[in-house]
Amino acid sequence: MTTTSITGKTALVTGGGSGIGLGAATKLVGDGAHVTICGRTEDKLVSAVESLAGSVGDGGSIRHIAADITVEDEIAAAVAFAAEPTGGLDILFANAGGSMHMGPFADADADALRATVDVNLVGTMLTIKHAVAAMRSNGGGSIITMSSGAGAFPHRFLWAYGASKAGIDMLSRSAAEELGADGIRVNSVQPGIVDDELMSFITAGGKLLDDYIGGMPIARVGTVEDIAEAVRFLAGPESSWITGVNLPIDGGHHLRAGANYGLLFE
């Protein structure tokens, strides 16, 4: 029978100081993993570690390192730090990202587009790149990347973010195909609208939230825990024959139409 334990496994969660990253770290550390969270803001990471101190499961630990995933030396150092407890890396949740552009094509700002692609696509690529050696030395591992429903079907005016997230989905499938022989699995998650700090300007209510809910067969806002549970499943041995999957976690939103961010401009 396949074990579902991750006790004593090493894990790195980027963007782990808040939101979905912190939720996933909570789940992993609660199940006994040695979890390192990283992000750009030291104070936020310190507070997150303090909040998780009472959640650490038997055999696990929680710590942090400040790093910007778009700076290669910094993410390389974060991977090395996360691997220290055992000498290798078992789990990577490449969660860090963001959106620096929103609006119509005719008004597009090239610098904002480049910044969005840099943090999402290039940052995720660099994170995977430096995780590979640490996982190979460990005999394999599981990589989960953070995509979005916006990367799978059009969300009006959110195309720059969506295009960069679509790139993450292809990046993940390509890495899964290449790294499977090393025992490294790679999957992405595609959350819908989630009630966290980043999405609070939408989940507080209004036309855009109504548009989201109207497009979802399971008509509710997602929770951080909804995503964290999926990440935990993909991180663990119970998903050992799953790789190259782009998993929607969105109440079925992907079955209908993308959200209309143009409503924010009305």
Catalytic residues: 161
Separation between Cα atoms, residue 60 and residue 57, nearest integer Å: 6
260: which DSSP letter? B
Closest CA to 85 of 61, 64, 67: 61
What are residue 14's DSSP bridge partners?
A: 38
Separation between Cα atoms, residue 236 and residue 46, nearest integer Å: 26
CA torsion through residues 12, 15, 17, 23, sign:
negative
- Report which residue type is found at 244: G
SS3 content of the chain, % helix, strand, coil (to 5): 50, 15, 35
- How many CA atoms, within 13 angstroms, populate the side-chain half-sphere of residue 188? 29
By the 8 A CB rule, do 31 and 57 touch? Answer: yes
